[in-house]
Amino acid sequence: MKRAFDLVLAGVGLLVSLPLWAFFAAAVKIEDGGSVFFGQERVGLNGRIFRALKFRSMIPDAEAKTGPVQASEHDPRITRVGRLMRATAMDELPQLWNIFAGDMSFVGPRPLRPGEVDVMGDGQLVALQDIRGYEERHRVRPGLTGLAQVYAPRDLPRAGKFRLDRLYLKKAGFCLDLKLLLLSFWITGRGQWEQRDRKF
């Protein structure tokens, strides 16, 4: 039932959002002439690697000098168009295709990059796969939104986000998915995805 819901909603979403695709593709291209889309390897269901699509929200080759670094609140690599897209989550609009193709679901744990690490409070680097709860996340398709995406502050350590992912696995159901989807539309409409202190 969840897969059928994802398939229908993603198909409708792809058709309805075509004008937005055209607008943001043109805006990204006009700003700096770089590529419109940005593809990145992510870990999905049962640990399978897939390529997640986004509208590019950072300068071209943003990670060429630093390697994979998570964006910060006032990251200078983010373009002007990118700031608007990130605040409204429009940069993730192309992931409707990932959902339609079966790589992702609308609701689930956020898809992470293979080999990603987290920085602990003492500055120690820890591989995400060594943090409790990491493997459990791969029992379901990763989601465009979810408990951690909606409720966790951006700077919450991954262990805290993984606890929310595990809670989702225990409570998952149509009503919870619908609630998280509606909250996500509300956050998008208010342009608050980049805020760390969202109020509901």
C-alpha–C-alpha distance, residues 182 and 175, integer Å = 11
Q: For position 65, what pLDDT does the model report?
A: 61
User: In the chain, where are the structural domains located?
Assistant: 2-190
DSSP letter string over 106-162?
EESSPP--TT-EEE-TTS-EEEGGGSTTTGGGGGS--EEE-HHHHHS-TTS-HHHHH
Q: For position 198, what pLDDT does the model report?
A: 61
Q: For position 84, what pLDDT does the model report?
A: 92
- Reply yes or no on whether the pLDDT at 200 is more than 60: no
Tokens coding 114: 């293979």
Query: Over the chain, what is the mean pLDDT?
Result: 89
**pLDDT digits over 61-113, tens only?**
766 665 556 665 667 888 999 999 999 999 999 999 999 999 999 999 999 99
C-alpha–C-alpha distance, residues 128 and 146, integer Å = 18
DSSP tag of 65: T
Q: Compute the average pLDDT of residues 11-30.
A: 96
Q: For position 193, what pLDDT does the model report?
A: 86
Q: For position 196, what pLDDT does the model report?
A: 60
Q: Are strands 125-127 and 117-119 parallel, antiparallel or unpaired?
A: antiparallel
Global pTM exceeds 0.75: yes
